[in-house]
A and B are shown apart, each in its own frame.
Chain A
Amino acid sequence: MGFLSRSWAIAQKDIVAELRARETVLSMLLFGFLVILIFNFGIEPGLREENLVKPGVLWAAFTFAGILGLNRSFASEKENDCLQGLLLCPVDRAVIYLGKLLGNVVFTFIMGIVVFFFFSILYNVDIIGTLLPIGLILLLATIGFSAVGTLFSAVSVGLKARDVMLSILLFPVMVPVVLAAAKSSTSVLDGAGLGDGSLWLALLVVYDVIFLAVSVMVFDYAVEE
C-alpha cells in the first residue's frame, strides 16, 4: 500500500465510525446553526452594512463548529486506548497524521457546506452562483484549519481541560485563515465573484502548505509516548 492509501485507510476508519455513531458531524452542524442564530440577534435586521457583517457570521460559525470536530478527533481515540493501537500501526507517524487530517477535512468540509446552505437561506444569498467560489474558499480554509487543528488535537488530548485548551491553542494561530476566508468571501457573497479575493486565496494556499509541512514534521513529537 502506498503512502496515501494507508492514510486513507485510517481516514476510512474514522468515517465508518462516524457513519455508525453519527455524533460528530451532527453536533457540529447543530452548533454551527446555533452560532448563526445567536449572531442574528446581535445584528440589527435590515442593517445597511449587512453585507459587511455576513462573512463574519459565516466564518465564526465555521470556526466554532469546526473545533467541536477537532475535539472529538483524538478524544475518540483516547477511549478504550485506541490511540495506542493506532500508534502501534506499522506505518510512519506522518501517515497517521495524514489519515486523521483527511478524516477531519471530510467532516469539517461537509459541515461547512451544510452550514453555508443554512446561512444562505437566512441571509438571502444566491446559492447557485456562489457555491463554486465559496466551496473553493471553504476547501482551502478547511485544509489549513484541520492541518493545525489535527496537530493541536493530538497535543491537547492528554491534558486536563483538553476542550478548552484546544480552543485557546488553536484560535490565535487560526487568525490568518479566518481573516483570509472572510475577506475573500466578501465580494463573493455580494454576488460580484471572487475579484480581489484571489489574493486572499493565495494567502490561504501559502498557509496550508506551510502548516501541512510543519505539522507533518512535528506530529511525531506530539503523540510520542
Chain B
Amino acid sequence: MTESYPALDRDAAPVAALADGGEVSVTPGPARRALWIDMLGLASVALILTALYAALVVAPTEAVMGDVQRIFYFHMPSAWVALGPSFTVVFVCSILYLTKRDLKFDRIAGASAEIGVMFTTITLVTGPLWARPIWGAYWTWDPRLTTTLVLWFIYVAYLMLRSSTPEGHKRARLSAVFGIVGWIDVPIVFMSIRWWRTIHPTLITGQGMQMDPTMQAVLMFSLAAFTVLYVYLLIVRVRQLDMGSRIDRMRQQLLMR
C-alpha cells in the first residue's frame, strides 16, 4: 500500500472537505454512532426473543382457549406501546413544539407516530387472529377494537398530513395542531363506543389481575420487552430524521454558495 488516504473523520463536518475553503458552517449534531444505542438495540432484540420463548414455551396453555391465547403476549404489549407511550409522546411533543418552536420536538412526534402506527397495525392484525377461533368472528364492534381502529385512522391521517407538506416549521405547526386534537379525541371515542355492550375480555378488575401467576409474569416481561423496543426504535428514528435535516441544511448551504 503506497497511497495513503486521509483518515475519514466522521465527526468533523464531512462537507468541509467538499467545499474547498468555503465557509460552510455546520452545526454539530449527533453524528457519532453511539455504542449505547447499538447495545440498546441488541438488548431489545434479546428481550423480544426471550419474550417470544416465554410466550410459546414458558407460559402454561390456557385451559379454555388453548394455544391461541399465546398471541395475547404480543397483542397486548403492542397495544400498550401504541396507545401508551407512542401517541402520548406525539401529543406531548406537539405541545412542546408549539411552545418552544424547536423542530427537534416535531421530529420526535413524527417518529413516535410512525412507530405507533406500526404497533397499532400489529395489534389490529393479532387481535382478529385470536378472535376468529375464540369469538367465532374476526371482528366485532367492541369498544376497544373500534377505538383502536379509529386510533389507527387518526394517526395514519397524521402521517399523511406530514407527508403532504414539505419539512419545516409549517409542517410542524399543522401536524402539532392535529396531533393535539387527535389525542384528545381518543378517550371520547372510547367513551362513546363503550356505551355499546362490550365483549372484550377484562383482565384487570376490581379484585386485581385475573390471571395465572406465570402468565402474569410472561405478560409483564413482554410488556417490558416491547417498551424497550419502542424506546430503541424511537431513538434510532429520531436520529435518522435529525441527520436527514442536517444533510438538507448542508445541501442548502452548498447550493447557496
Listed in ascending order, the chain A residues whose CB lies under 8 Å from chain B are 148, 151-152, 155-156, 158-161, 165, 168-169, 171-173, 175-176, 179-180, 183, 199-200, 203, 206-207, 210-211, 214-215, 218, 221-222, 224
Contacts and interface: CB of A to CB of B under 8 A. Distances in A.
A172 B184 CA distance: 12
What 8 pairs between A and B have smallest CB-CB spacing? A172-B153, A176-B192, A172-B154, A168-B157, A173-B185, A218-B177, A222-B177, A176-B188
Contact of B164 (A152, A161, A173, A183): A161
Given A172-B157, A172-B185, A211-B181, 17 more contacts: A152-B181, A155-B178, A168-B160, A169-B161, A169-B178, A171-B153, A172-B150, A173-B182, A173-B185, A175-B192, A176-B189, A180-B192, A200-B195, A203-B192, A214-B180, A221-B98, A221-B176
B90 to A, nearest CB: 14
Contacts of A210: 184, 188
A138 B98 CA distance: 34
Contacts of B185: 172-173, 175-176
A179 B192 contact: yes
Interface of B: 98, 150, 153-154, 156-157, 160-161, 164-165, 170, 173-174, 176-178, 180-182, 184-185, 188-189, 191-193, 195
A169 B195 CA distance: 24
B157 A215 contact: no
A159 B163 CA distance: 10
A172 B151 CA distance: 8
Contacts of B180: 214, 218
B44 to A, nearest CB: 30
Task: Give the residue among A148, A175, A203, A210 with the most B Cβ atoms within 10 A.
Answer: A175
A43 B150 CA distance: 25
B164 A207 contact: no
A46 B238 CA distance: 57
Contact of A159 (B165, B177, B182): B165
A165 B150 contact: no
Contacts of B181: 148, 151-152, 173, 211, 214-215, 218
A210 B165 CA distance: 28
Nearest to B160: A168
